Structure 1
Amino acid sequence: MKQSEIISLSTAELQEKLGETKKSYTDLKMAHAISPLENPIQLKHLRRSVARMATELSKRDDQ
């Protein structure tokens, strides 16, 4: 997910999306542990999306 898309979400939507993305990341990571993924770069993209969303939430909490 791009940073501009993350900024445009409301706080509630962002929290919901963060939960979904974390679950997707965990599921994909477990699947990769069992058998290699066709595209392991997906893990990197999901991990970075989680970090972007968490950072945006913490920025909003500080304001």
Structure 2
Amino acid sequence: MKQAEIIELSVEELQQKLAEVKKEYEDLKMAHSVTPLENPLQIRSTRRTVARLATELTKREQQ
């Protein structure tokens, strides 16, 4: 998910999307620990998406 897409989301949508992406990240980590993923870079990109969402959410809460 790109930063431009994240900025357009409302606070409720950010919270919902953050929960979804965190779940996806945990599933990827679990799947990779059992059997190596075909594309392990998915883990990194998902982790960075979680960080982008959390950062934007924190930024909006401080305003």
Q: How far off is 1:62 after superposition?
A: 0.5
- The letter of the residue matching 2:25 is Y
Determine the structure 2 residue equivalent to 1:46.
46
How many pairs align?
63
What is the TM-score when the length of structure 1 is the normalising length? 0.99
- Partner deviation per Cα, 1:11-58 (whole Å, 9 max, x = no partner): 000100000000000001000000000000000000000000000000
- The letter of the residue matching 1:3 is Q
Q: CA RMSD in A?
A: 0.3
Which 5+ residue runs of structure 1 have no aligned equivalent? none
- The letter of the residue matching 1:43 is I
Identity of aligned residues (%): 65
What is the TM-score when the length of structure 2 is the normalising length? 0.99
Moved over 3 A (4+): none
The 2-side partners of 1:25 and 1:42 are apart by: 9
